[in-house]
Structure 1
């Protein structure tokens, strides 16, 4: 049978680790182009995939993984890295598949990669969720469908997580799990074009981040808002570290986390006092005092800290945004969604693909980033315990 080639992408020239990755690839004599015979056996195909993964792991290193990489480390580095490496190899094989559908060895290679995805799933024991069909969730789902959100995920309740999103059907690698129209993505630009945004242009010192907070505070109370079902579905309290009560703070007494929390809360309080009551006095119809209290300002801060996502728009700008429905995805070190931050210019939608398989009924996770437990506690209200590889221990110097 004819042979064929599988080509992995080169190191991106804009990659901050370009030089380091190139050096490692050269030192280890790792290839980007792999020749495969159409008649290769299963054992030979296993060997090809292993060779491809060695290269793909280096291509997908992040800064922390690069820093701690051992010279003789060729196997799995981290869950995140392995997932990205498998997706890199899978995408390369799919490119070949378009031209050579019936080659036995190619189908073997793809099946081997899929099996490796399944091994990742087997190592991640996620319980199935219970359907969440309350009035707020039902109205949110109806609104999402009317506004053009497409999703293979529905709302459920999970032990230890509360609300989240679960697979409504079996989901395969690279399946579209969610598609959200750009007009539903709430950003600074969106707020600038509202009556509130225009009024704030005349108020000195109000920047974009502050505008979206104030807009969220007002929109939360507008029954006829386009986003009313979304805001109605949000919790009355986010229970992040920023709103901890006295008993919770006492548990943290004597820790650096408590000091960081108090400093962050004091900063937010000072920012609030720069705005109110002056805004309410100047624009009483836009900023009624009963809707712009300190407690409501803190709620809006927690909303944006815990639900805000960095989104890249078609013009290349990157903004922190609220993405309705998608905000229900919970954080995990073992995510199913890894690339979710770029709006597709053709469909004008945020298209979210599955990075690994997910069985119907199981929770779908994304990853908020390489965050320490103190950061997770302060801005999200939970910790990962001793399992968090990104946790830090401050070391003082006398």
Structure 2
């Protein structure tokens, strides 16, 4: 992951020693980043640079164009695996998290440059700074339509948040539990400071009795030890983390808690098999403590093999390109299928040859998702859905979403084949 702030360059100097351009440098991609190769490839493909010269005398319009360029590069730097997979020809924004991290990095950089630059450079830097603030304030505004408050009765959250009288704990339809500020929080303001002593971390674990009891177990991970520590600490009445544990629900509504009716509602979905497998894994999770080194090697090899052929899809309405050459589908999936079906075409090939190859790929995708869509179609609407239990509602909502995604893929492939 990138460093906390970008480097600040001195820029180019004129004949009299005055700066004629200010250099903005994003932090170099970390060699330890598992997504390093993919990020480098996207930066090169899109002709993006992590270093950019901003002429002191450039107009506001040109300065904002340069800002868009560096924002695109920052988005790539902060991409996660999911965003990388579905990037395609999309330049962003990719997600609220990605956008906030990218813009916050550039805001810190502009503030440093404003402190160190001469008067001539400050005018253009102030323009960029103000535009970044505008973009930061606009992040998340598109979500307002479905951020509807469902309830305001959360005594546990109110107790935990005594430090912030201007905050309320709320439930948001489609987004779950969260907080809302009763007054505006400015860009750059500190909303919350957390002392390091209150962070549940590996360092805290190493100082606990749980660590002394578990450290000699072979192949036990720090994540598993933290989980076991949490299970024990939750019932420690003298724990300094008691206010935190008191806010946790007594029962977690997850797929592992689904009843028979909810599982029946999931029949035909990919999640049904995943929950069954997860329950089996949950049943023998304790066996991981005694896993041999040989078994671990076999598991690692299996995961590595699977990751090379496992691909993802999403609703094609999220794609910025609905036509040739991606048809709204993720580029990695199309590339893999073209190779697997022997339909790869050299870059200089005629467009007609490429489209003929894509017909085979699209027909293959249809053969996969058409039966899946048929299995997801409801036999009839359930009149008792609103009064159903939480797990049946959640399962039904998930199935509706998967049906919508699969339907969009089938529709896009069918439309693309007709056009081809």
TM-score tier after normalising by the smaller chain length: 0.5 to 0.7
Alpha-carbon deviation of 1:5?
0.5
- Give distance in 2, aligned partners of 1:66 and 1:189: 32
Alpha-carbon deviation of 1:239?
0.4
- Could you say which residue in structure 2 is the equivalent of 1:76? 92
Alpha-carbon deviation of 1:118?
3.6
- Give distance in 2, aligned partners of 1:273 and 1:56: 43
> Are 2:161 and 2:167, in contact at CA under 8 Å, matched by a contact in 1?
no
Alpha-carbon deviation of 1:268?
2.1
- Could you say which residue in structure 2 is the equivalent of 1:248? 262
Matches within 5 A, 1:219-238: 219-238=233-252
- Give distance in 2, aligned partners of 1:44 and 1:120: 23
For structure 2, which runs of at least 5 residues remain unmatched after alignment? 1-17, 290-317, 319-390, 410-420
- Give distance in 2, aligned partners of 1:203 and 1:25: 43
> Are 1:188 and 1:211, in contact at CA under 8 Å, matched by a contact in 2?
no
Distance 1:138 1:6, change over 3 A: same
Q: Over residues 345-395 of structure 1, what are the superposed CA-to-partner deviations in whole Å (9 max), with x where a residue is unaligned?
A: xxxxxxxxxxxxxxxxxxxxxxxxxxxxxxxx9xx9996946999xxx9xx
> Are 1:197 and 1:211, in contact at CA under 8 Å, matched by a contact in 2?
yes
SS of residue in 2 equivalent to 1:155:
strand
> Are 1:24 and 1:58, in contact at CA under 8 Å, matched by a contact in 2?
yes
Are positions 1:49 and 2:57 aligned together? no
Q: Over residues 239-284 of structure 1, what are the superposed CA-to-partner deviations in whole Å (9 max), with x where a residue is unaligned?
A: 0111112221221234332222122222222345999xxxxxxxxx
> Are 1:155 and 1:165, in contact at CA under 8 Å, matched by a contact in 2?
yes
Which of residues 37, 50, 71 in structure 1 aligns to 2:56?
37
Distance 1:193 1:170, change over 3 A: same
- Give distance in 2, aligned partners of 1:262 and 1:51: 46
Matches within 5 A, 1:250-269: 250-269=264-283
Structure showing greater Rg: 2
SS of residue in 2 equivalent to 1:225:
coil
- Give distance in 1, aligned partners of 2:287 and 2:151: 42
Alpha-carbon deviation of 1:83?
4.4
Distance 1:388 1:107, change over 3 A: farther
Q: Over residues 156-192 of structure 1, what are the superposed CA-to-partner deviations in whole Å (9 max), with x where a residue is unaligned?
A: 2333445312234422344333222222222455345
Specify which structure has the bigger relative contact order, considering alpha-carbon pairs within 8 angstroms and separated by 6 or more residues: 1
- Could you say which residue in structure 1 is the equivalent of 2:111? 94
- Give distance in 2, aligned partners of 1:201 and 1:22: 39
- Could you say which residue in structure 2 is the equivalent of 1:139? 159
Alpha-carbon deviation of 1:229?
2.3
The TM-score, its normalising length taken from structure 1, stands at 0.55
Which of residues 171, 174, 178 in structure 1 aligns to 2:185?
171
Alpha-carbon deviation of 1:233?
1.6
Q: Over residues 42-61 of structure 1, what are the superposed CA-to-partner deviations in whole Å (9 max), with x where a residue is unaligned?
A: 32332332333344344444
Which of residues 154, 157, 163 in structure 1 aligns to 2:171?
157
Distance 1:151 1:188, change over 3 A: farther
Q: Which has the higher helix share?
A: 2
Matches within 5 A, 1:1-398: 3-9=20-26, 11-14=28-31, 15-18=33-36, 21-22=39-40, 25=43, 29-31=47-49, 32-37=51-56, 40-66=58-84, 69-70=87-88, 73=89, 75-76=91-92, 78-79=94-95, 81-100=98-117, 103-125=122-144, 127=147, 129=149, 132=152, 134-142=154-162, 145=163, 153-187=167-201, 189-200=203-214, 208-271=222-285, 385=401
> Are 1:151 and 1:177, in contact at CA under 8 Å, matched by a contact in 2?
no
Q: Over residues 100-151 of structure 1, what are the superposed CA-to-partner deviations in whole Å (9 max), with x where a residue is unaligned?
A: 4863322222222222334433323263658856543343234xx5xxxx89
Q: What RMSD, in angstroms, separates the aligned Cα atoms of the two structures?
A: 4.3
Alpha-carbon deviation of 1:24?
5.2
- Farther off after superposition, 222-231 or 60-69: 60-69
SS of residue in 1 equivalent to 2:147:
coil
- Give distance in 2, aligned partners of 1:34 and 1:74: 24
Q: Which has the higher strand share?
A: 1
